[in-house]
Structure 1
Amino acid sequence: MSMDAADARREDLLSALEVIEQQPLAERATAYAALHDELARRLESAPPDRSA
């Protein structure tokens, strides 16, 4: 992944976190859980890192 793509993903994550933080407290847990599930799906579907 290029640095531009990594930067874009980082910005997307920060934007999602900002949106979550603006929600009422009662809704944040659900939003964080959904974000967690999405990130976990991305990690599980990513190709293995063979450089490690």
Structure 2
Amino acid sequence: MTPDDDIATALDDALMPRLRVIEDQPLASRAEAYTQVHDELRQLLEGGDVPRTHG
């Protein structure tokens, strides 16, 4: 198992319960909660695009 696999597993373990909680909410609340999850995941994924300096 690689470090990337460990990160993916940790994210999955954290994300799935959160999505189940969101699904139990009224529609308006779900939309807002999914937007928040989307924004957090986008920030996490785009964080990998930070230019790295080579020294």
With normalisation by structure 1, the TM-score equals 0.74
Q: What corresponds to 2:13 in structure 1?
A: 11
Structure with more relative contact order (C-alpha pairs < 8 Å, separation 6 or more): 1
- After superposition, give the CA deviation of every residue in 1:3-23 in whole Å (9 maximum; x if it has no partner): 343222111111111111011
With normalisation by structure 2, the TM-score equals 0.70
User: Match of 1:30, as an amino acid?
Assistant: E
Segments of structure 1 that go 5 or more residues without pairing to the other structure are none
RMSD after superposition: 1.7
Give the number of aligned pairs. 48
